[in-house]
Amino acid sequence: MKTVLVTGSEGFIGKNLRVALSRLDDIKVIGFDIGDHISSLTSNLKEADVIYHLAGVNRPERIEEFQTVNTGLTQTMVSFIQEINKKPIIVMTSSVQAELDNPYGISKKKAEDILFEFSRKTSAPVYIYRLTNVFGKWCRPNYNSVVATFCYNIANGLDINISDRNKELDLVYIDDVVTAFIRVMGGKHPSSEAPFFHVEPTFHVTLGTLADTICSFKESRNSLMVPTFSDPFVRRLYATYISYLPIDSFSYSLKQEIDPRGELAELLKSPHFGQMFVSRTRPGITRGNHYHDTKVEKFVVLDGESVIRFRSIRPEGRDQRAEVGGPRSEGGDVIEYPVSGREFRVVDIPPGYTHSIENVGKKDLIVLFWANEILDPASSDTYYEKV
């Protein structure tokens, strides 16, 4: 079994890393955080095969704490490791600010130098990551992360302040950071720009775009427009935003269109995949009796008993697929598909077929629909014709 020590174990990166490590086999995870006595650190260092040194301060109450924690703790660790003659793998989180002449940057630079010297003397493997802005779940809002602040405030209906909409940010996602760190433990060499290592991918965004994108996530509950999840940054940012929802706001109601037939509600929309909606239909009621020229749909009966009917509107009257051995369908003939909620069966609705769905059961029929384009009332591509 391999023992892994995480310093700064209660911090943003520390919590995410500990959870990921806990899922691995033959790994014992031990932690050290600011509230722990230094004696527990030395005890943990004796056991540790791998050290993730994440502990640090960036907004202390006293400026001296930069040196005490960021530099001093690192020196204490290294001195004790040398004293007990160990060579653990050490992964340290530094900051791009280590290049700057400010108290925080200076303290991180000194911590880097301590580890580099330790590695030079002992040949112990040391990996130092100069991280840019890290975002993701469990990051403290209204502290030092603009992503966490924007996500939390927007999700909770609070104002955000943008000093310069055109200011550019470099961001890395917490899961990508954790993946990179664990790969090091597994002996896989991370990406590097000697002597420092970096996390991929890095995302570049302006403050204005960041704020607008997060605001669009909140509005999506009303517009039902799904973000462009093919964009890896949007996918990660949306996951981050959702993690900041108030616990009493995980669910929300959909607007229902109600008439004597039952209810219908749109679920999701996107210019990239169309839209989804769901309906509840009373026993004996038929929906549809229309066709499309280009729009295609899929029906999935979730509960109840139905018959989905088709009739080709092709003027020639004979389905051209019959000519290549396919099933025959006269233009005037009705094709029937009995579909039950007992099986999750998809029924495709081709263009050029007028179609309907009838509830032939004794209880409400629940159906999930997908269309490959968002409904445009001004050009709906929907034409009434009874099956």
Instruction: List residues with catalytic annotation.
Output: 104
- Distance, CA of 12 to CA of 131 (rounded, Å): 13
Residue where the block lists tokens 């840019």: 132
Q: Cβ atoms within 10 A of the Cβ of 43, count?
A: 13
* Amino acid identity at 309: R
Preceding peptide of 201 cis, ω within 30°? yes
- Tell me the Ramachandran region of residue 328: left when phi exceeds 0, alpha when psi lies from -120 to 50, beta otherwise: beta
* Residues 116 and 151 sit within 8 Å (Cβ to Cβ): no
Interhelix angle for 103-122 vs 74-83, to 10°?
10
The structure tokens 């029924």 sit at 347
Name every residue whose Cβ is closer than 8 Å to that of residue 86 and which is 6 or more positions away in sequence.
Answer: 45, 46, 48, 124
* Alpha helix stretches (DSSP H) within 37-73: 38-47, 64-65
The number of helices, as runs of H, and strands, as runs of E, in the chain is 9, 21
Tokens of 216: 């669009």
Strand partners, 298: 348, 370
Selection from 23, 40, 84 nearest residue 5 by Cα: 40
Two tokens at 382?
């929907």
